[in-house]
A and B are shown apart, each in its own frame.
Chain A
Amino acid sequence: MKPAPFEYYAPASTDEALALLAQHGYAAKVLAGGQSLIPAMNYRLAQPAVLVDLNNVAELFYIRPAADGGVLVGAMTRTATVEHDPLIAARAPLLAEAIPHIAWPQIRNRGTFGGNVAHADPAGHLPAITVALNARYHVKGQRSDRWLSADEFFVAAFTTALEPDELLVEVALPPMPPRSGWSYRQAARQAGAEAMVGVAALVSLDERGRCASARLSYVSVGETPPVAHNAAKILNGQTPTAEAIRAAAAAAADSDVEPGADIHATAAYRRHLVRVLTRQALTEAFERAKRGDSGVEIRDLGLGDARSNLQSPIPNPQYTIPNPQSPITVTVNGTRYERAVEPRMLLSDFLRHELGLTGTHVGCEHGVCGSCTVLFDGRPIRSCLTFAIQAHGHDIRTVEGLGTVDNLHPLQEAFRDAHALQCGFCTPGFLMTLVPFLEQNPRPTEQEIRQAIAGNLCRCTGYQHIVEAVKLAAERMAGGD
């Protein structure tokens, strides 16, 4: 599972990126976070001839207040940044509430808002949420600059209105109407797994407590995120009683969605989930509207933060000279390494085989197992879903950068004391996830610990001793050991 070769460009501005797209047309694929694209490339399901990497386009990393009271989100803003942003929490709480359901922290640290939306995966959360929020999509090409509505932007599964020479540069989230409430409900088989159904609801009340608007959109029940118009019709102008909500949920399930079947859910079960989740979502959204809730609390596990970009602080030479062996400079565990790499070399392979840092393990090469987790500028990411060339100028920390055999890091010591490892293959990935977690959460609850490691698979321990080790380490580290 190694990607096919490609020509790699890392433009530093939107204009440069658009010029490259104009030049290469259909041969080029845009690399944003890469958390969907790189797995497909590792499986060789995607074999783009040219990759235009936007990770150095600083101007696309932002969250800004819009003049109308809404929010503007730059396309390259990391999903984790959106998750932790106070402006989003205040002005688009639906989004803040839903994002923790997107895969796992390591994926959200690398994945981007615009990339997720433009990928238009029917099972993606963000397309449906932007639809529920009535977002507008800012699209640019060398010859175009246009704003699209959701209806215009989402065309089919994995297909948007973007031309091959265009980029989604920004998404505008309008202000929520007065007296509004929101809810996000999903049914996934486990934390971070694809949602069998997700429901994003944004409702508002008029001054007499009747439903003024109800906009619902869905994950995993159609080619593009459907809008529940029939459900909205039932609610509009009505007092949102349990009965009205039940009728709207039934209408949504029966006539607003066209679910398909896959190995996790049949169409009938999906329709059932649409009914029950719509009922739950509407109930919660109207309750919030009645109470006048504003914003949500940011849940910070320390595994992602609000820093708006991770782009290279030193110029990347790759923009002008595509070269089969490209020189890069990477700092790993405090040591600066200069190497020449093929652009397709995965960061995991680079660390292991070029630098000989074999403590980082590779278990799946599609971002699910977590064994290859390393810190990228202090934040855990999957090194199998990042190209080594993208680490140019960045700071990487691997398990070799924690303690040594004779002088273990307190977390490593606690892992040993609590028997938190058996075969030890997944262990480095757990450690690299937990180090920043404990720095941010010196006194975590058991539930927080389990959530923090939900993106790391262990086949030996049943996780129990890992959880105990984290508690032990937290106690000792808090005690000033």
Chain B
Amino acid sequence: MMTKYVGQRIKRNEDPRLLTGQALFVDDIQIPGMLHAGFLRSDYAHARIRRIDVTKARQRPGVIAVYTAADLGDFWKPGPLLVPAPHSIPGLIFNKRTQVPMAKDKVRHAGEALACVIAESRYIAEDAFADIEVDLEPLDPVTGLEAALAPGAPLLYEELGTNLASYVRQEKGNYAAARAQADVVLKRRIVVDRGAAAALENRGYVFWWDPKTQQMTIWATTQAPIALRNIMAGLLGLSESQVRVIAPFVGGGFGPKIMLAQPEEQVLGWATLRLGRPIKWIEDRQENFLTTTQERMQIHDVEIALTRDGKILGLQDIFIHDTGAYNSYALTVPLNTQTHTMGPYEIPNFHTEYKVVFTNRILVTPVRGAGRPQGVFVMERMLDVAARELGLDPTVIRAKNLIQPDQFPYRQGIIGQDFTELIYDSGNYPATLQMAKEMIGYDRFVREEQPRLRAEGKLVGIGVVCFTEGTAVGPYEGARVTVESSGKVNVATGVGTQGQGHFTSFAQIVADQVGVKPTDVTVTTGDTEKFHWGTGTFASRGATVAGNAINAAAAGVRAKILKLASKVLETPEQELEIVDGVVRVADIPEKSITLGQLAVIANPMRGSVEPGTEPGLESTQYFGPKYGATAAGTVAMIVEVDPDTMLVQIKRFVIAHDCGTVLNPLIVDGQIHGGVSMGIGQAFYEKLVWDENGQLLNANLGDYLLVRATDMPPIEIGHLCTPSPLNPMGTKGVGEAGAIPTPACFVQAVENALAGLGVEILETPLSPNRLYELVHG
């Protein structure tokens, strides 16, 4: 394929509208007669509901309706399971408990909806909360992971008799046997705490049932418009063709916007069917902290078995994973942790086992990284512990255990989030390590700079971390590419977009195939009326899975163009070329026809065509990979810790990254930068703190710290390219790359800076206060 545009740093098609305030976001929608919803939420984390009286609220001027669980009647039921449990894993336990529309009988997390007020304005809806009488009997909450499993622990679901949501055990090789042969066995407890995805745009919806057309339109901040349509149709007893979901511009996703059938969606769908008027609900920032799904809390008990020279014989990781109050998203996150613990390393024997527990907190679902950062953190910490124990340089022990380029495809032997065996398709891990070391000047820093700076009393440290990123999983995506009579080309696909630049990268793919400029390609994503097959944007899969479907559809259109043009221009196809929207005979450029003219010819209005002719220059194609492509990389950073305050400054940050074929380096760099900043957040700033009553103490952006421009170092990126054999374009995902290794690297660098103070760090997020405690006891 010609690649005039793929691979180029092309500026984005979507930017002019976003830059001028002309891009439509959900909260920008105004419809005459539109109502506004607000949800009264529980202050308690765990409580029995004695009584909710909304009589007074219904009488407030401007209030249209007030609903509680009782008002929903038969509609009230636990929502659907969004992701199946991996029943292919033997011995799996999975106790399904999915999210309900509003709390009934019992509240299971602070912020759970008790009542929905629908009013003329959001201001009035919130006024009406004061009119609602709520009588809750507080119960002891479950806030700790181990406490959840302790005998006599309060139970979220009494009928289960336990807070155990799941149990999964997987084994590759024989860890016990490996351990018996090891020279060294090291054991540690490693803890990763909870954080928020904190997209700048909170969740939001407009639900509009139009009784006259019998159609429901839903504008949603979703990563998965088609899946949302299907699920809402099912819940509301409508046909899928009666429901249109539009995800307009979405202000960041980062995982939680993949969630479906959330309480607000269920209630709003039900309410607009009743009221026949559009209803808007925009989550506010406080609700975002209390009700948008979160991630990362896990406690690992890890053991690593090695030879004296640092070769890993086996690893055992037994962990507890917090799923929060419900487990609608099943086991994607802990499965990712399992598959990413081995990372780029050869681990012949691996025993991995986890328990998932219910706690009185908002549920856990993927947040950029989705279980992967925890796995990488565990492995990388253990390698650092081992390196110290064995007197090895941290980069040497890593190099010693990396999977080599000639070992692909490499079977890891355990089941991953796509329920198939984890196989690494391709890569060159030693090259990423080497590149990162060179970029940051590892050897010189360790030999010369660090000793010199330490002699000046500066606490400087370096970290180097290798990682894999399982990306681009199935099942499939599709696309329809159409040449329009204007000569412009339209692409419609089913994935949602939240800033990844799909309007541009997809246009580049089509531009190369069809022979137009990327600016002449319009991309429609996230409108089920335009394309209604697909799954969604998650797991760093959009550019690869949808991208390859688009590539196939565009190739189909190219074939149609050439076939028709050959007839019209009376020239064999192989003598034709398509340049800037014109098909011409390569040797006689003046013998030509525009794509627009061809599109008109391809859609005859009268006369006859040969039987079997498809009209138009259009093609719809689908792509589903055999299994997910695995991207990889190495990050390195240098930090300086202020010995007085324990504040940490990142002096340098480099990443050597391999995501196969790059469609647009500008966009890939941006994805990496953003991922890294979230990783830095998780390492040092972003920690959700609950008290013993299950109350979130920092449900605001003043106390929950997102990384600011003054916290970020410049990021230096090195690109390597090992194309994936799993798809024709050779791409792999990159969306989560920065977030995955960064916490582990930060901790390693800080620990290295504090070397000599006897500090070992086995947790994130850190804080200056926590470092002070670690140093001063």
Q: Is A431 in contact with chain B by the CB < 8 A criterion?
A: yes
Q: Is A161 in contact with chain B by the CB < 8 A criterion?
A: no
Known: A264-B769, A408-B16, A416-B16. A398 touches B21 (CB 8 A): yes
Known: A272-B776, A415-B15, A461-B673. A425 touches B251 (CB 8 A): yes
A427 to B123 Cα, complex, angstroms:
26
CB proximity of A1 to chain B, nearest CB, Å: 4
**B 650-692 contacts with A by CB, 8 A:** 666-667, 669-671, 673-678, 685, 689
Whether B701 pairs with A369 at a CB distance below 8 angstroms is: yes
Whether B647 pairs with A371 at a CB distance below 8 angstroms is: no
Whether A371 pairs with B200 at a CB distance below 8 angstroms is: yes
Whether A431 pairs with B27 at a CB distance below 8 angstroms is: no
CB proximity of A453 to chain B, nearest CB, Å: 5
Q: Is B703 in contact with chain A by the CB < 8 A criterion?
A: yes
Contacts of B19 in A (CB 8 A): 399, 403, 408, 412, 415-416, 421, 424, 427, 431
Whether A1 pairs with B286 at a CB distance below 8 angstroms is: yes
Known: A266-B773, A369-B701, A408-B19. A422 touches B706 (CB 8 A): no
CB proximity of A313 to chain B, nearest CB, Å: 27
Whether B21 pairs with A428 at a CB distance below 8 angstroms is: yes
Closest to A276 in B: B644
Q: Is B281 in contact with chain A by the CB < 8 A criterion?
A: no
Closest to A42 in B: B284
Whether A269 pairs with B773 at a CB distance below 8 angstroms is: yes
Known: A369-B701, A421-B18, A422-B499. A460 touches B27 (CB 8 A): no
Contacts of A19 in B (CB 8 A): none
Most buried by B among A357, A364, A462, A465: A462
CB proximity of B677 to chain A, nearest CB, Å: 4
Whether A459 pairs with B21 at a CB distance below 8 angstroms is: no
Whether A358 pairs with B28 at a CB distance below 8 angstroms is: yes
Contacts of A399 in B (CB 8 A): 19-21
Give the residue of B16, B126, B252, B712 whose beta carbon is less than 8 angstroms from that of A464: B712
**A 410-447 contacts with B by CB, 8 A:** 412, 415-417, 419, 421-428, 431, 446
Whether A400 pairs with B21 at a CB distance below 8 angstroms is: yes
CB proximity of A125 to chain B, nearest CB, Å: 15
Known: A264-B703, A463-B677. A363 touches B644 (CB 8 A): no
Give the residue of B12, B22, B202, B685 whose beta carbon is less than 8 angstroms from that of A189: B685
Q: Is B176 in contact with chain A by the CB < 8 A criterion?
A: no
Closest to B501 in A: A422
Closest to B698 in A: A263
Known: A189-B685, A266-B769, A419-B666. A462 touches B715 (CB 8 A): yes
A412 to B20 Cα, complex, angstroms:
8
Q: Is B714 in contact with chain A by the CB < 8 A criterion?
A: yes
**B 753-776 contacts with A by CB, 8 A:** 767-769, 772-773, 776
Q: Is B198 in contact with chain A by the CB < 8 A criterion?
A: yes
Whether A363 pairs with B201 at a CB distance below 8 angstroms is: yes
Whether A419 pairs with B670 at a CB distance below 8 angstroms is: yes
CB proximity of B673 to chain A, nearest CB, Å: 3
Known: A423-B199, A423-B200. A457 touches B21 (CB 8 A): no
A263 to B685 Cα, complex, angstroms:
12
Most buried by A among B127, B250, B670, B776: B670
Whether A459 pairs with B670 at a CB distance below 8 angstroms is: no
Q: Is A157 in contact with chain B by the CB < 8 A criterion?
A: no
Give the residue of B20, B201, B673, B697 whose beta carbon is less than 8 angstroms from that of A359: B20
A145 to B487 Cα, complex, angstroms:
78
Whether A462 pairs with B677 at a CB distance below 8 angstroms is: yes
A277 to B768 Cα, complex, angstroms:
14
**A 330-372 contacts with B by CB, 8 A:** 342, 344-345, 352-353, 356-366, 368-369, 371
Q: Which of A63-71, A108-116, A136-144, A192-200 contacts B (4 or more CB under 8 A)?
A: A192-200
Closest to B647 in A: A187
A460 to B197 Cα, complex, angstroms:
11
Q: Is A175 in contact with chain B by the CB < 8 A criterion?
A: no
Q: Is A158 in contact with chain B by the CB < 8 A criterion?
A: no
Q: Is A273 in contact with chain B by the CB < 8 A criterion?
A: yes
A449 to B712 Cα, complex, angstroms:
12
Contacts of A193 in B (CB 8 A): 702, 705
A1 to B41 Cα, complex, angstroms:
13
CB proximity of A225 to chain B, nearest CB, Å: 20
Q: Is A320 in contact with chain B by the CB < 8 A criterion?
A: no
Contacts of A363 in B (CB 8 A): 200-202, 251, 285
Whether B15 pairs with A464 at a CB distance below 8 angstroms is: no
Q: Is B30 in contact with chain A by the CB < 8 A criterion?
A: yes
Contacts of B213 in A (CB 8 A): none
Whether B27 pairs with A453 at a CB distance below 8 angstroms is: no
CB proximity of A245 to chain B, nearest CB, Å: 14
Q: Is B498 in contact with chain A by the CB < 8 A criterion?
A: yes
Whether B767 pairs with A192 at a CB distance below 8 angstroms is: no
Encoded as 1 (CB less than 8 Å from any A CB) or 0, chain B from 21 to 57 comes to: 1111101101000000000000000000000000000
Contacts of A5 in B (CB 8 A): 123, 127
**B 528-580 contacts with A by CB, 8 A:** none
Whether A459 pairs with B678 at a CB distance below 8 angstroms is: yes
Contacts of A424 in B (CB 8 A): 14-15, 18-19, 23, 249, 251, 499
Encoded as 1 (CB less than 8 Å from any A CB) or 0, chain B from 195 to 222 comes to: 0001111100000000000000000000
Most buried by B among A190, A345, A400, A459: A459
Interface of A, secondary structure class, is loop
Whether B644 pairs with A361 at a CB distance below 8 angstroms is: no
A264 to B686 Cα, complex, angstroms:
11
Closest to A3 in B: B123
CB proximity of A385 to chain B, nearest CB, Å: 12
Q: Is A454 in contact with chain B by the CB < 8 A criterion?
A: yes
A400 to B24 Cα, complex, angstroms:
13
Q: Is A319 in contact with chain B by the CB < 8 A criterion?
A: no
A314 to B703 Cα, complex, angstroms:
39
Give the residue of B18, B250, B673, B776 whose beta carbon is less than 8 angstroms from that of A465: B673
Q: Is B88 in contact with chain A by the CB < 8 A criterion?
A: no
**B 219-259 contacts with A by CB, 8 A:** 249-254
Contacts of A406 in B (CB 8 A): 16
A3 to B250 Cα, complex, angstroms:
26
Whether A405 pairs with B17 at a CB distance below 8 angstroms is: yes
A344 to B685 Cα, complex, angstroms:
34
Whether A423 pairs with B498 at a CB distance below 8 angstroms is: yes
A358 to B498 Cα, complex, angstroms:
18
Contacts of A345 in B (CB 8 A): 123
A187 to B644 Cα, complex, angstroms:
10
Closest to A356 in B: B30
Q: Is B1 in contact with chain A by the CB < 8 A criterion?
A: no
Closest to A103 in B: B702
Contacts of B202 in A (CB 8 A): 363
Q: Is A477 in contact with chain B by the CB < 8 A criterion?
A: no
Known: A193-B705, A368-B701. A422 touches B127 (CB 8 A): no
Q: Is B700 in contact with chain A by the CB < 8 A criterion?
A: yes
Known: A190-B708, A272-B772, A423-B199. A417 touches B674 (CB 8 A): no
**A 171-230 contacts with B by CB, 8 A:** 187, 189-194, 196
**B 499-519 contacts with A by CB, 8 A:** 499-501
A456 to B200 Cα, complex, angstroms:
11
Closest 3 CB pairs of A and B: A359-B21, A425-B251, A423-B499
CB-defined A-B contacts under 8 Å, sample of 30: A2-B123, A44-B126, A187-B647, A191-B711, A196-B768, A265-B768, A265-B769, A269-B769, A358-B24, A358-B28, A361-B200, A364-B285, A366-B702, A400-B21, A405-B17, A419-B667, A422-B252, A423-B498, A424-B19, A424-B23, A424-B249, A425-B199, A425-B252, A449-B709, A451-B709, A453-B709, A459-B254, A462-B675, A463-B708, A465-B670
Chain A contact residues, CB within 8 Å of chain B:
1-5, 43-44, 187, 189-194, 196, 263-266, 268-269, 272-273, 276-277, 280, 342, 344-345, 352-353, 356-366, 368-369, 371, 398-400, 402-406, 408, 412, 415-417, 419, 421-428, 431, 446, 449-451, 453-454, 456-467
Known: A459-B200, A463-B709. 14 other contacts (CB 8 A): A3-B123, A43-B286, A189-B768, A264-B703, A342-B123, A359-B20, A359-B21, A360-B21, A369-B200, A412-B20, A426-B200, A454-B708, A460-B499, A462-B712
